């Protein structure tokens, strides 16, 4: 992809060792091609002339950025999969969901506390229901999601939705609550130990976190949701502006030289 | 903020040392309050019973997540500033820009290459103009932005815009090109050494990267842009759905207990 900020080289031309190693391994990945194993740590250290800690720093960044898949005991591989595009939603609503798989892992009641109470416009001593699920596509687990809803608005809601069913479907069919709109914020955060367990990733892996407060058709807030997406596997996409992009020209010549 | 995935504690209840230290320091930050200095590394290590490397891992995560500001030589401080909300844009266009400050750092011509050529629908041997700037708010530098535009479409464009002027303003007034729409993708990446220099941050700090391909009023692509935002300072926000949120109730009682 388009070289970031003059390929990362500082004005003084001095390049940290880990960064030089990272660029070299990335070039090697492109030569080797998808799914191919990288040389062993020892071989790479010798070849690139760096210490093991330096090599690990370089490889970890490539894992986080989705270029390398590193599995304990079986080495590192060039990633062949493209990142999955998850829609951030538009004025029409949440948009198509790339993560159709869902397994509910938690259903519990707790005291709202100050911050949730403000978002949901309830009292801080009111109960909220906390529902947690892991979400994915195919066999891959790609996100962990926690939703908090005011308990008094959903009487008789005593267990998580059955199977793959979404919370929005459940709230609409059982309680007549429909989605009217939401404010979202996207940030970076680290995968906590529990989230790493649920996702099957390294702890402390950088991730994309989306916080959302949704309201119903009358504009009344009914949920606060935190979704943590694997940063190495997802791109959050959105479209701007009133004009459609023109359909693509024939570019067979360029394409063949790029693949 | 709403506790992530059961406060990060794995099912087996075993908590890594760095994560326990991170939670403890976060609690300490909330007690100390904004702008107050944290105890020294040595004091914190003794108090929490952890090694220095463990402590540094915990503090680095808190820096990245925007809770702690760590300055070389002068210790660590509880962050008082809220994160800045930058709009991701809507169907109406890019939305208000929170980063009004801009300093141009690069203007150069180069060969497009395959990936840029595909995005901009030009030949891979065509020239593109690469413009790089740092962007910020007040005295803070918060983002580094690289834009690539097809050279042949902008004849006589030989230097970066003057002063604080945006590229879109320049292209509209000098070449009559107006923004019609764009596709955006948001990902995580690491700050490269050059970007760290430009931003004044630690290298390898996780960041939010937004890639955008914009087209004009006829739907023809005219720029490919990569913006790297400091992950510890920005939230990328967007609004969903056709319904407005209802104006907030009086909540003086809750508010006073939360601050």
Question: To probe the interface with A, which of B238, B239, B248 has the most A CB atoms within 10 Å?
Answer: B238
pLDDT of B2 over the 70 cut: no
- Give the nearest partner residue to A254 out of B118, B183, B245, using CB atoms: B118
Q: Residue A90: which pLDDT band, with cuts at 50, 70 and 90?
A: confident
Q: Do B219 and A181 touch (CB under 8 A)?
A: no
The angle that helices A41-48 and A17-32 make with each other, rounded to 10 degrees, is 120
Name which of A116, A193, A219 is nearest B246 (Cβ-Cβ). A219
Choose among B180, B245, B255: nearest Cβ to A219: B245
SS (H, E, C) chain B: CCCCHHHHCCCCCCCCHHHHHHHHHHHHHHHHCCCCECCCHHHHHHHHCCCHHHHHHHHHHHHHCCCEEEECCCEEEECCCCCEEEECCECCECCCCCCCEEEEEEEEEEECHHHHHHHHCCCCCCEEEEEEEEEEECCEEEEEEEEEEEHHHCCCCCCCCCCCCCHHHHHHHHHCCCEEEEEEEEEEEECCHHHHHHHCCCCCCEEEEEEEEEEECCCCEEEEEEEEEECCCEEEEEEECCCCCCCCCCCHHHHHHHC
Domains of chain B listed by start with CATH number: 14-78 (1.10.10.10), 84-237 (3.40.1410.10)
Show which of residues 56-115 on chain B sit within 8 Å of chain A, judged by CB atoms: 57, 61, 64-65, 83, 85, 88-94, 106, 114-115
Touching B: A residues 136-175, CB under 8 Å: 144, 146, 148
List CB contacts (< 8 A) between A10 and chain B: 193-194, 197
- Indicate if the pLDDT at residue B65 is higher than 70: yes
Question: Measured between CA atoms, how close is B43 to chain A, in angstroms?
Answer: 24
Q: Mean pLDDT throughout A216-245? A: 92
Predicted pLDDT at B215: 96
pLDDT value at B146 more than 60: yes
Contact criterion met (CB < 8 Å) for B124 and A221: no
Element (DSSP H or E) covering residue A135: strand A127-137
pLDDT value of residue B95: 80
pLDDT of residue A254: 45
Q: Which residues of B66-105 are buried (b: 16+ CB within 10 A; e: fewer)?
A: bbbbbeeeeebbbbeeebbebebbbeeebeeebbebbebb
Query: What pLDDT sits at residue A215?
Result: 96
Q: Do B114 and A238 touch (CB under 8 A)?
A: no
Confidence of residue A92 (pLDDT cuts 50, 70, 90): confident
> Is pLDDT above 90 for B242?
no
Of A19, A64, A181, the CB nearest to B188: A64
- Structure confidence at residue A204 (pLDDT): 67
Residue A189 with chain B: CB contacts under 8 Å: 4, 64-65
Please check the confidence at residue A123 and state whether its pLDDT lies above 80: yes
Least confident span in A24-38, A121-135, B1-15, B230-244: B1-15
Q: B179: Cβ–Cβ under 8 A, 6 or more apart, which residues?
A: A241, B93, B94, B168, B172, B214, B216, B217
Of the listed ranges A5-14, A93-102, A211-220, B227-236, the one predicted with least confidence: A5-14
Residue B98 has pLDDT above 60, yes or no: yes
The closest of A191, A46, A185 to A119, measured between CA atoms, is A185
Q: Find which of B141, B168, B193 to mutate to test the A interface (most A CBs within 10 Å of its CB).
A: B193
Residue A253 has pLDDT above 80, yes or no: no
pLDDT averaged over chain A? Answer: 86
B208/chain A closest Cα distance in angstroms: 7
* pLDDT, mean over chain B: 86
Give the gap in angstroms from C-alpha A47 to the nearest C-alpha of chain B.
Answer: 23
Q: Is the pLDDT of residue B111 over 60?
A: yes
Chain A residues lying within 8 Å of B186, measured CB to CB: 88, 186, 208, 235-238
B211-235 pLDDT, tens digit each? 999 999 999 999 999 999 998 889 9
Q: What 3-state class would DSSP assign to A226?
A: strand
Residue B252 has pLDDT above 50, yes or no: no
């Amino acid at each position: 992809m388009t070289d970031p900020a003059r390929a990362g080289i500082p004005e003084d031309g001095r390049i940290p060792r880990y960064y030089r190693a990272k660029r070299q391994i990335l070039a090697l990945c492109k030569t080797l091609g998808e799914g191919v194993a990288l040389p062993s740590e020892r071989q790479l250290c010798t070849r690139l002339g760096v210490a093991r800690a330096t090599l690990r720093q370089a490889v970890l960044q490539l894992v986080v950025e989705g270029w390398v898949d590193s599995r304990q005991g079986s080495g590192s591989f060039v990633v062949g999969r493209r990142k999955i595009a998850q829609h951030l939603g538009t004025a029409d609503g949440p948009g198509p969901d790339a993560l159709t798989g869902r397994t509910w892992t938690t259903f519990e009641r707790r005291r709202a506390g100050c911050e949730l109470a403000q978002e949901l416009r309830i009292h801080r001593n009111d109960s909220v229901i906390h529902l947690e699920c892991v979400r994915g596509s195919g066999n891959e687990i790609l996100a962990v999601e926690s939703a908090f809803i005011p308990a008094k608005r959903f009487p008789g809601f005593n267990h998580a939705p059955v199977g793959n069913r979404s919370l929005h479907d459940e709230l609409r069919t059982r309680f007549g609550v429909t989605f009217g709109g939401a404010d979202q914020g996207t940030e970076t955060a680290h995968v906590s130990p529990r989230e790493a367990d649920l996702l099957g990733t390294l702890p402390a892996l950088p991730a994309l976190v989306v916080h959302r407060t949704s309201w119903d058709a009358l504009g009344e807030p009914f949920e606060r949701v935190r979704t943590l997406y694997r940063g190495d596997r997802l791109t959050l996409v959105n479209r701007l502006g009133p004009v459609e992009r023109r359909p693509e020209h024939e570019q067979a010549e360029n394409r063949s030289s790029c693949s």
